[in-house]
Amino acid sequence: MTDLLAIDDLTIRHAGRPLVAGVSFAIAPGERVGLIGESGSGKSLTALAAIGLLPEGMTASGSIRLAGRQLVGAADRDIVGLRGSVVATIFQEPLTALDPLMRIGNQIAEVVRRRARRDGQPVDVQAEVLALMARVALPEPRRLARAYPHEMSGGQRQRAAIAMALACKPRLLIADEPTTALDVTTQAEVLRLLEALVREDGMGLLFIGHDLPVVGAAVDRVLVLRGGELVEAGPVAEVFGRPRHPYTIGLVEAARTFDRAIGAAL
Amino acid sequence: MSLIDLSAVSFAYGRGRNVLDGIDLKIEAGRNLGIVGESGSGKTTILRLLLGLARPTAGRMTFRGEGLDPGNRAVMRGFRRAVQAVFQDPYSSLDPRQKVFDIVAEPLRSLKIDMDIDDAVAGALASVDLPPDAARRYPHEFSGGQRQRIAIARAIVSRPELVLADEVVSALDLTTRIRIVDLLKTLSERTTLVLVSHDIGFVALLCHDLVILEKGRIVEQGAARDILSAPQHPYTRRLLDSTPRLMDFA
Amino acid sequence: MTDDAPALAQPSSLRLTPAFLIGAALVGLHVVVGLMTLVWTPYDPTAMTGGRLAPPSLLHWAGTDRLGRDLFTEIMIGARIALAVGSGAVTIAAAIGVTVGLLAAFASRAVDDVLAATLDILIAFPTLLLAMLIVAASDGASLGTAILAIGVAASAIVARLTRILARRVLAMDYVTAARVSGTSWLGIVRIHVLPNIWPTLVVNFALQFGLAVIAEASLSYLGLGAPPPNASWGRLLQEAQATVYTAPFGAVAPGLALVSLVIGLNLFADGLRDVADPTRRRRG
């Protein structure tokens, strides 16, 4: 049992209708995998299932093993311990992940304390919060630690959310469209940061997105999901360079159209 | 004569600092213009000015050579007839309680344009590739891409000279995005487009001219071809470098 | 996370929940009985038709009051009074409240602040207290003053709700699109604001109706409501108070009538929330 996340023949149903059908893939420690899909492809549902957080009324069948533990059919109280220890998640809109009434430093500190309690090791919370903030390249950590989420820019909020995820010291990081709400220049910075952090800590990464080059910037291997089914999988260069499935070919062609538009600059 | 001319335009909310500072901008009929900027660049404010929803706090804005003054009804009427808009969020931009027919017909009714409303709405829906029976349905029955088509139909139904599009594809999937780009390209044979976006790739597909905004100022403007091939300002270069490209991976 | 959520089933036709049906039945019963009293009552409401404080019997379903009048007849008439006051007060509250709320929503920041503060102060007064002040300030208690007083008191709540709802609509892009299309402010209210806020307002009106019925009963209980011979449930309760130990049904019967109407209105309002808005959907 070496895989961090092993999903086998996952099917997710809502009111009898399959939204995800027969999806299988695995993420080994240190492996970075991208899940590409458009609206309704089931990519976010797959991610939610991987942390045992499917919305009400949806049922999963098949097998989801997170750090060796079977999630399908497991009670929530048995899974709760995995979230925030084995796996951490960052979302598209960091505002929803942050408490609007709490200073950002305290929010990160809370996660650090929770982890310290879990591991039973005393830590210098203050020092670790500042170190985490510096690590995600938040400027002036000491000053910003006292800021409320609404006083920060979108990019800073996403960096703070990443710091909170890192504070758990997870083995698997799930990032669901983490740069979609950001400006282009901020997106590039956050992608570089995310890529470097995951590599340094040897975390596994499941990066979910719809924008091919954005996903490509963060991962080694991609899976293409369409209408709840996996249509193509492989290393980034292979899938983007020689797509085989007609749907992937369409996606690649669309991305190339935008490439060509600014291609003159190269 | 330019359609719209901004000269030394600045804008501030209340007594705050200028969110736009000394903007010089010409919109010429037949030349699509892309206004590229990130959050805090002032692009939303420029859009509000260009739509006549806000007035410059300094500088002058003219429409076909005449000053835009809410008091001058004749000029404002001509302006409203000439300029329409498409917005970013296709969910918020369509009234959920109106049928598509009434949504698309609204500019004709409000501007009291002398056209057969049934024909005009049918024509507008046809030009955005929506079936005629779409008119009888409600917005929630359509996908994001289809909703954006309805919003485009509303913007073109009165045959305006200028259509302003605010981040019209950023809420859409890649494949839908391409289809909307194709649609806008076809439409721009009949009307001039002004695209406001943070996405230089999208803007470059459709625009002859570009304006690069940073922190309320224009840092670079000119022909799209020139700016893309030889960006002069460091910010423009950074913007281009940051834009994700598929060719970096394959 | 948002784009994968499946579109929820759209209620394309009216979906009638059991709660709504029970509520509608209770309200409907009161309406039918109230209207019936215009043409027929079991007894003359002012006539002494039996022994004093008689318990319920086949002849007098709810017994008689301390003057020997048929209590069931009085309760039936009370339904009419309650419905008259409720609908009158809600109409007044809607007319004033929606107008003021819309004005506040469209007003400049300064005017809006003043209006909002005024509404907050008015709302801080209990409806009943406000109504008492209005009744006291008028010539004397009558059905009309009760309706006016309760309506005015409730209008502040309607105004505040309208203002909040209208502001939300005004922030939508479709309103900006309407402005760009040259739609006038009045046109925006008619085409976009009212149709979008109406379902929520109607639900609130149904709740306000229930509150107005209670307020009317309270005013009458205090002797500030419609004077006799208008048989308000509040007055019946007040009259029964002295004899509640010897003839409890004199208090129980009008109490049941009041409670059943108010519960009916609340269930009706809850059901209306779903029914009134067929296009309601969660953003996917």
Q: How confident is the model over A47-89, as pLDDT tens digits?
A: 999 988 888 889 999 999 998 889 998 888 888 888 878 899 9
> Closest Cα partner for A183 from C2, B214, B17?
B214
Chain C CB contacts of B85 under 8 Å are 176-177, 180
Q: Predicted confidence band at C245 (pLDDT cuts at 50, 70, 90)?
A: confident
A176: β partners:
A208
Handedness of CA A153, A159, A161, A164 (dihedral sign): negative
CA distance C102 to C246: 53
Q: Within a 13 Å sphere around the CA of B38, how many CA atoms are in the beta-carbon half?
A: 20
Partners of A27 in the beta sheet?
A: A5
Determine the pLDDT at residue C199.
87
The neighbours of chain C, by the rule of 3 or more Cβ pairs under 8 Å, are A, B
Q: CB of C282 within 8 Å of any CB in chain A?
A: no
- Banded pLDDT at C93 (limits 50, 70, 90): very high
- C105 with C170: CB under 8 angstroms? yes
pLDDT grade for C63, boundaries at 50, 70 and 90? confident
Cβ contact B180:B148 at 8 Å: yes
Q: What is the mean pLDDT of chain C?
A: 84
For residue C9, the chain A residues in CB contact (below 8 A) are: 15
Q: Please choose, from the candidates B231, B175, B216, B184, the residue with its C-alpha nearest in 3D space to the C-alpha of residue B203.
A: B184
C10, C180, C195 member nearest B140 (Cβ): C10
**Which pLDDT does position C142 carry in this prediction?**
81
Terminal alpha carbon distance of chain A: 46
Chains A, C: CB contacts under 8 A, how many?
29
* Alpha-carbon gap, residue B26 to B79, rounded angstroms: 15
What number is the average pLDDT over the span C228-250? Answer: 83
**SS3 label, residue A209:** strand
Q: Which of B84, B89, B158 is closest, CB to CB, to C173?
A: B89
Measure CB to CB from residue B93 to each of C174, C187, C195 and give the nearest one.
C174
Whole-number mean pLDDT of chain B? 92
Residue C282 has pLDDT above 60, yes or no: no
- Region B81-94: what's the mean pLDDT? 93
* CA end-to-end distance (rounded Å), chain C: 10
Instruction: Specify the amino acid at residue B145.
Output: G
The whole-angstrom separation of Cα B105 and Cα B153 is 9
Does pLDDT of C209 surpass 70?
yes
Q: Three-state SS string across chain B, please?
A: CCCEEEEEEEEECCCCCEEEEEEEEEECCCCCEEEECCCCCCHHHHHHHHCCCCCCCEEEEEECCEECCCCCHHHHHHHHHHEEEECCCCCCCCCCCCCHHHHHHHHHHHCCCCCCHHHHHHHHHHHCCCCHHHHHCCHHHCCHHHHHHHHHHHHHCCCCCEEEEECCCCCCCHHHHHHHHHHHHHHCCCCEEEEEECCHHHHHHHCCEEEEEECCEEEEEEEHHHHHHCCCCHHHHHHHHHCCCHHHCC
Query: Of residues B16 and A102, which shows the higher confidence score?
Result: A102
Residue C251 — pLDDT band, cuts 50, 70, 90?
confident
- Give the residue on B whose Cα is nearest the Cα of A211: B174
Taking the C-alpha atoms of residue B23 and residue B28, their distance in angstroms, rounded to an integer, is 16
Band of the pLDDT at C6, cuts 50, 70, 90? very low
How many CB atoms neighbour CB B247 within 10 A?
14
Read off the pLDDT band of C11 (50, 70, 90).
Answer: very low
In chain C, domain spans: 18-35+70-275
Query: Which residues on C lie below 8 Å from A14 (Cβ)?
Result: 6
CB neighbourhood size of B45 (10 A): 22
Residue C15: the pLDDT is: 64
- pLDDT tens per residue, range A188-216: 999 999 989 998 988 999 999 999 999 99
Q: Are A188 and A6 in contact (CB under 8 A)?
A: no
Q: What is the mean pLDDT of residues A247-258?
A: 92
For the segment B53-63, the average pLDDT, to the nearest whole number, is 93
- Cα angle for residues A8, A13, A19 (degrees, 5° grid): 80
Residue C9 has pLDDT above 60, yes or no: no
Q: Helix H segments across chain A?
A: 43-50, 76-79, 94-97, 104-119, 125-135, 141-144, 154-167, 184-201, 212-218, 236-241, 246-263
Smallest CA–CA distance, residue B185 to chain A, in Å, is: 13
**What is the end-to-end Cα distance of chain B in Å, rounded?**
46
Q: Identify the band that residue C14 occupies on the pLDDT scale cut at 50, 70 and 90.
A: low
- Could you give the percent of chain A with pLDDT greater than 90? 65
The CATH class given to the B4-248 domain equals alpha beta
Report whether pLDDT(C88) > 60. yes
- What value does the CA radius of gyration of chain B take, rounded to a whole number of Å? 18
Q: Beta partners for A23?
A: A10
- For position C277, what pLDDT does the model report? 58
Tokens of C165: 């709802």
Domains of chain A: 1-86+171-266 (3.40.50.300), 94-169 (no CATH)
Interface contact flag, A41 C1, Cβ < 8 Å: no
Helices A125-135 and A104-119: angle between axes, nearest 10 degrees: 120
Minimal Cα distance from A179: which residue of B? B244
Query: For C159-202, what is each residue's pLDDT tens digit?
Result: 999 999 999 999 999 999 999 998 999 999 999 999 999 989 99
The count of other CB atoms within 10 Å of the CB of residue C142 is 15
**What is the DSSP secondary-structure string of A101-144?**
TS-HHHHHHHHHHHHHHHHT----HHHHHHHHHHHTT-SSHHHH
pLDDT value of residue C275: 66
- Closest-CA distance of chain A to residue C2, Å: 8
CB–CB of C1 and A14 under 8 A? Answer: no
- What ipTM goes with this model? 0.89
Burial B218-234 (b: 16+ CB within 10 A, else e): bbbbeebeebbeebeee
For residues A27 and A206, is the Cβ–Cβ distance under 8 A? yes
| pLDDT of B193 over the 90 cut | yes
* Residue of chain B with shortest Cα separation from C188: B110
3-state secondary structure C63-108: CECCCCCEHHHHHHHHHHHHHHHHHHHHHHHHHHHHHHHHHHHHCC
C153-179 burial string, b = 16+ CB within 10 Å, else e? bbbbbbbbbbbebbbebbebbbbbbbb
Residue with tokens 């950590």: A141
Could you tell me the pLDDT band of residue C127, with boundaries at 50, 70 and 90?
confident
Position A7 scores a pLDDT of 95
User: Can you give the pTM of this predicted structure?
Assistant: 0.84
Instruction: For residue C182, list chain B residues with Cβ-Cβ distance below 8 A.
Output: 77, 80-81, 107, 110-111
Residues of B in contact with A246 (CB under 8 A): none
Per the CB < 8 A criterion, the answer to whether A145 and A95 are in contact is no
Q: Which of residues 97-126 of C touch A (CB under 8 A)?
A: none
Q: With residue A172 as reference, give the H or E element that holds it.
A: strand A172-176
Measure CB to CB from residue A14 to each of C2, C3, C6 and give the nearest one: C6
Instruction: Report whether pLDDT(C4) > 60.
Output: no
Q: Residue B39 — pLDDT band, cuts 50, 70, 90?
A: confident
Q: At residue C125, does pLDDT exceed 60?
A: yes
Q: Residue B150 CB: number of other CB atoms within 10 A?
A: 25
Mutation target to probe the A interface, by most A beta carbons within 10 A, among B174, B207, B213, B248 is B174
Residue C49, pLDDT > 60, answer yes
CB atoms A45 and C3 under 8 Å: no
pLDDT at A148: 94
CB pairs under 8 A between A and B: 104
Q: Which residues of C touch B151 (CB under 8 A)?
A: 177
Q: What is the CA radius of gyration of chain A?
A: 19
- The whole-angstrom distance between residue B94's C-alpha and the CA centroid of its chain comes to 16
Task: In whole angstroms, give the CA distance from residue B18 to residue B14.
Answer: 10
Assess if CATH 3.30.870.10 describes domain C18-35+70-275.
no
Residues 36-55 in B contacting C (C-alpha not used; CB under 8 Å): 51-53
Break chain B into its structural domains and give their ranges: 4-248
Q: What does chain A come to in residues?
A: 266
Q: Kindly state whether B15 is in contact with chain C, defined as any CB-CB distance less than 8 angstroms.
A: no
Contact yes or no for A188/B237 (Cβ under 8 A): no
B154 or B250, greater pLDDT = B154
What is the residue-wise DSSP string for chain C? --TTSPPPPP--S----HHHHHHHHHHHHHHHHHHHTTT--SS-TTS--S-TTPPP-SSSTT-B-TTS-BHHHHHHHHHHHHHHHHHHHHHHHHHHHHHHHHHHHHS-HHHHHHHHHHHHHHHHS-HHHHHHHHHHHSSS--HHHHHHHHHHHHHHHHHHHHHHHHHHHHTSHHHHHHHHTT--HHHHIIIIIHHHHHHHHHHHHHHHHHHHHHHHHHHHHTT-SSPTTS--HHHHHHHHHTTTTT-THHHHHHHHHHHHHHHHHHHHHHHHHHHT-TT-----
Mean pLDDT throughout A159-181?
91
Best-predicted range by mean pLDDT (A73-82, C143-152, C257-266): C257-266
Query: Is A55 an interface residue toward C (CB < 8 Å)?
Result: yes
**Residue indicated by tokens 């979906």:** C15
Q: Sheet holding A58-66: strands in order across? A: A17-27, A5-14, A58-66, A69-70
Nearest-angstrom CA–CA distance, A152 and B78 = 42
User: By CA distance, what is A55's nearest residue in C?
Assistant: C5
Residues C83 and C30: beta-carbon distance below 8 Å: yes
Query: Does A15 have pLDDT greater than 50?
Result: yes
Instruction: Tell me the C-alpha distance between C183 and C181, whole Å.
Output: 6
Q: Is the pLDDT of residue B155 over 90?
A: yes
Mean pLDDT to the nearest integer, A16-28: 93
Q: What is the C-alpha to C-alpha distance for residues A251 and A248, in angstroms, rounded to an integer?
A: 5
Shortest Cα distance, chain B CAs vs residue C69, angstroms:
53
Q: Where do we find the tokens 């500190």?
A: A109
Those chains having 3 or more beta-carbon pairs within 8 angstroms of chain B are A, C
Average pLDDT value for residue range A27-44 = 92
Res. B161: pLDDT tops 90: yes
